[in-house]
Amino acid sequence: MPARPTTDTLIVREVESPLGRLRLIFDKVGLCELHFGGNVSPSSPPQAEEGRSNLWFVEETVRRLRQYFAGERVSFEDLPVSFPRGTDFERRVWSELRKVPHGRLITYGELATRIGAPAASRAVGRALAANPVPIVVPCHRVVRKGGGLGGFSAGLEKKRALLELEKAL
């Protein structure tokens, strides 16, 4: 696994949303973490402070998230995302998931098939649970084959709210 960037390369932004405050952490490549509320993982260094940046994608990501929560159809697929952690399999899952459009649902099995591992739906679920940038990498759009919501690292209430916002439910 590649090493996480040092704190002097991190930029932190916070965005208010109907689901509470989101904390965004960027490295020089792109968005590398998105956390709901005070739910910040130990991987986020506490000394990463609010910073200024000339990296276009920082403010663009914030702008699109605000539009998204205002109910607009927004694509995040072209925004740079950095995956400094994660296995090759997880990165394949996350990369493929970025192609699922706003308001559309896909099953764990369909996602597994898309990455060429049709028998790996449970492994896909584990990869989604490790997704460091929910919403932008839209793991909330993945549901069970029978129509059940499945899981969501931030809780099923937030998953349902995101799907309702996208009018996918």
- Residues assigned a catalytic role: 139
Tens-digit pLDDT profile for residues 55-106: 889 999 999 999 999 999 999 999 999 998 899 999 999 999 999 999 999 9
**Orientation of helix 88-97 relative to helix 121-129, angle to 10°:** 90
- Return phi, psi of residue 160, to 5°: -60, -45
Average pLDDT over residues 109-126: 96
Alpha helix (H) residue ranges in the chain: 56-69, 88-97, 108-114, 121-129, 156-165
Tell me the pTM.
0.84
* Alpha carbon distance 48, 71 (integer Å): 30
Domains 7-69 and 88-165 share a fold: no
Judged against a pLDDT cut of 70, whether residue 50 lies above it is answered with no
Residue 61: Cβ-neighbour burial (10 angstroms; 0-12, 13-18, 19+):
buried
Instruction: Label residues 75-91 b or e (16+ Cβ within 10 Å = b).
Output: ebeebbbbbebbeeebe
Tens-digit pLDDT profile for residues 96-108: 999 999 999 999 9
Judged against a pLDDT cut of 80, whether residue 114 lies above it is answered with yes
Q: Which amino acid is at 5?
A: P
Classify domain 88-165 at the CATH topology level.
Arc Repressor Mutant, subunit A (1.10.10)
Q: Assign domain 7-69 to its CATH architecture.
A: 2-Layer Sandwich (3.30)
Q: Where do the structural domains in the chain lie, given as residue ranges?
A: 7-69, 88-165
For the chain, how big is the Rg over CA atoms in Å? 15
Q: Quote the pLDDT of residue 9.
A: 78
